[in-house]
């Protein structure tokens, strides 16, 4: 299974960005990772986290969003890099993109594991949508080729 995922990631990250094949490969791999996590991986029992942890994650997400927005509005881009331009630099090499896609797929499988007792569906749906957006933004929109 791991070798198959590695071959898939290698081939998928060799596709040209901003194309339908790159989009299809990212969505197909992401969909399979979510199905794998929801059906094959064992259920997990969540630890009760204090509400302050949720606030920390929300604060981190807000800070990253504000950084992206402020960097996007400022010029020149070389002096004010967005998160997108930073990830393009990280993923310039094919092996780095492959490893990044494998980590993204593993994160999707882990995020989609069944949780008992069931958490709110809205929170899980938002988390998986953010995960899918991250994959699209990084592996379909990336301008590293």
pLDDT on residue 89: 82
Whole-Å CA distances, 39 to 7, 43, 90, 120: 22, 9, 33, 19
Q: Alpha-carbon distance 132 to 135, whole Å? A: 5
Mean pLDDT of the chain: 82
Average pLDDT over residues 71-95: 81
Distance CA 13, CA 7 (A): 10
Average pLDDT over residues 83-108: 88
**What was the pLDDT predicted at 6?**
93
Strand ranges for 12-134 from DSSP E: none
C-alpha 8/C-alpha 127 separation (Å) is 24
- What's the pLDDT score for residue 104? 92
């Amino acid at each position: 299974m791991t070798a198959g995922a590695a071959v898939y990631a290698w081939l998928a990250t060799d596709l040209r960005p901003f194309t339908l094949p790159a989009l299809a490969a990212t969505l197909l791999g992401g969909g399979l990772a979510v199905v794998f996590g929801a059906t094959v991986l064992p259920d997990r029992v969540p630890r009760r986290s204090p509400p302050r942890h949720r606030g920390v994650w929300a604060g981190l997400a807000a800070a990253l969003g504000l950084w992206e927005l402020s960097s996007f509005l400022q010029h020149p881009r070389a002096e004010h890099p967005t998160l997108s331009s930073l990830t393009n630099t990280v993923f310039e090499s094919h092996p780095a993109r492959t490893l990044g896609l494998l980590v993204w797929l593993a994160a999707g499988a882990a995020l989609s594991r069944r949780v008992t007792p069931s958490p709110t569906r809205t929170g899980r749906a938002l988390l998986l949508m953010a995960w899918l957006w991250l994959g699209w933004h990084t592996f379909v929109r990336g301008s590293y080729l």
